[in-house]
């Protein structure tokens, strides 16, 4: 089945620094979704990317889907302490309704 690997596992930044996390798949993805989970919280859907080369922005967050639809990135500009949490790109198995298979995600710590 599809394997989606995410790096880095941990990232510590100073407030104001940028942050990027990457997801890489061994096979072509039909779509990729990004979620954020605050410490002690629940996963929150951020975005879904569907088109090859797609770039979407949400305020300081920029999401990118690779041309080959095998990789994706989430970039946060000028991190704030509210960005703390774990960012996931779970494997959706090529569907919009199937199970999500979560990896360990990228744990972001922001030092004030």
Q: Cis ω on the peptide bond leading into residue 8 (within 30° of 0)?
A: yes
| 15/51 with CB nearer another protein | 51
Which residue spans within the chain are E strands per DSSP?
4-7, 10-14, 19-25, 32-37, 43-49, 55-58, 61-65, 71-76, 85-88, 106-111
- Taking the complex as a whole, how short is the minimal distance between the CB of residue 93 and another protein, in angstroms? 9
- Taking the complex as a whole, how short is the minimal distance between the CB of residue 6 and another protein, in angstroms? 11
**The two structure tokens encoding residue 76:** 């946060």
> Residues in the site for another protein, rule: CB under 8 A?
33, 37, 41-45, 47-48, 88, 90, 96-104
| 66/90 with CB nearer another protein | 90
- Taking the complex as a whole, how short is the minimal distance between the CB of residue 18 and another protein, in angstroms? 25
Q: Identify the bridge partners of residue 21 per DSSP, sorted by sequence position.
A: 74
| 49/79 with CB nearer another protein | 49
């Amino acid at each position: 089945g599809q394997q989606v690997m995410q790096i880095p596992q941990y990232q510590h930044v100073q407030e104001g620094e940028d942050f990027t996390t990457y997801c890489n798949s061994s096979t072509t993805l039909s779509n990729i979704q990004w979620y954020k989970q605050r410490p002690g919280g629940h996963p929150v859907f951020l975005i879904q990317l569907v088109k090859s080369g797609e770039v979407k922005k949400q305020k300081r967050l920029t999401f990118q889907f690779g041309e080959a639809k095998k990789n994706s990135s989430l970039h946060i500009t000028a991190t704030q302490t509210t960005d703390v949490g774990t960012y996931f790109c779970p494997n959706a198995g090529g569907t919009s309704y199937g199970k999500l298979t979560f990896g360990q995600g990228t744990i972001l710590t922001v030092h004030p």
